Amino acid sequence: MTARIIDGNALSAKIREHLAERATALKVSRGVTPCLAVILVGEDPASQVYVRNKVAGCEKAGFRSIKQVYPANVEPVTVLAKIAELNADPSVHGILVQLPLPKHFDSEAVLEAISPEKDVDGFHAENVGALMQGNPRFIPCTPYGVMKMLESEGVKIAGAEAVVVGRSNIVGKPMAMLLLAQSATVTICHSRSKDLAFHTRRADILVAAVGKERMITGDMIKPGATVIDVGMNRYASGPNAGKLCGDVDFETAKEVAGLITPVPGGVGPMTITMLLTNTMESAERTLK
């Protein structure tokens, strides 16, 4: 059996088209353009690519964007002052600080400085708490994108065994909360889990978010399962060295799974799509 592939590019394009229409409607009816402010500190190449793609995503959907870049040695107080300025600016609907921040930053304090009403990443403690209580304001973008993919494919979540590998604040934990909110039986695995394969083989829905090149292999997957690969790694060696790959070994996994996301072209494009969705929702909310 070969799994059906979930095309993140196609789903993203469809959602972004709809967002562009909503942006136009908002402009025409209320004179408001959705606006996202992105703060980048330092020169991390991966972060630079992510920020560039976020700004480009805004432009293409007809959103306004503000990009503020600081050198790695900037004083945290300068960044906090910028956040305060953006918090107070009614034309800004979303604020995002690209992570990771340099070591001399208290990342948590920076995330807490963003107004919860503009925290389109959904990382502020108030928004994390709201998600936990089942009443989310902003859902973190990557897990939100995964839920959209499951919805678009009609994957049954209620009663399903869902296994999330990875416990990060950005993906693993909110992912588990969202699956739980839709009545899956959720297991969270991590680096200290004993016998990972025992858990993954029970999963009807398996979400891999660990950041380890092709660590989930076909023999760890239940036949017919839905496999979502959040990993964004590079082959360390071999003929594909340097090329993108996920946390799932796609070649062996696709022979066992029922549905699977590729890397690239799976979850990746959905993350920015959901960031735009959160920014749009924030802009619409200010007008209610």
Which residues are catalytic, by number? 54, 98, 121
Cβ at position 127, least distance to ligand GUN in Å? 13
Site for ligand GUN in 145-204 (CB under 6 A): 170
Give the range of 80-88, 95-103, 128-136, 276-284 binding ligand GUN by CB under 6 A. Answer: 95-103
Q: Which residues contact 12 (CB under 8 A, 6 or more apart)?
A: 269, 270, 272, 273
Cβ at position 242, least distance to ligand GUN in Å? 20
Distances in Å between the Cα of 138 and the Cα atoms of 119, 121, 122, 125, 262 are 7, 7, 5, 11, 26
> Would you say 142 or 261 has its CB closer to ligand GUN?
142
Q: What is the DSSP string of 184-247?
A: -EEEEE-TT-S-HHHHHTT-SEEEE-S--TT-B-GGGS-TT-EEEE---EE--SSTTTTSEE-S
Site for ligand GUN in 226-265 (CB under 6 A): none
Cβ at position 81, least distance to ligand GUN in Å? 19
Among 12, 65, 98, 273, binds ligand GUN (CB under 6 A): 98
Structure tokens at 288: 């209610």
The b/e string for 3-41 (b: 16+ C-beta within 10 A; e otherwise) is: beebbbeebbeebbeebbebbeebeeeeebbbbbbbbbb
DSSP 3-state of 96: strand
Cβ at position 121, least distance to ligand GUN in Å? 5
Give the range of 29-37, 94-102, 157-165, 199-207 binding ligand GUN by CB under 6 A. Answer: 94-102
CB atoms within 10 A of CB 188: 18
Q: How far apart are CA 25 and CA 23, in angstroms?
A: 5
The answer to whether 121 contacts ligand GUN (rule: CB under 6 A) is yes
Among 51, 113, 114, 141, binds ligand GUN (CB under 6 A): 141
Among 26, 35, 96, 175, binds ligand GUN (CB under 6 A): 96
Give the range of 78-86, 87-95, 97-105, 257-265 binding ligand GUN by CB under 6 A. Answer: 97-105
Cβ at position 123, least distance to ligand GUN in Å? 7
Give the range of 93-101, 219-227, 251-259, 276-284 binding ligand GUN by CB under 6 A. Answer: 93-101
Burial class of residue 241 (count of CB atoms within 10 Å of its CB; 0-12, 13-18, 19+): exposed
Structure tokens at 64: 């306004």
Residues that bind ligand GUN (CB under 6 A): 96-99, 121, 141-142, 170
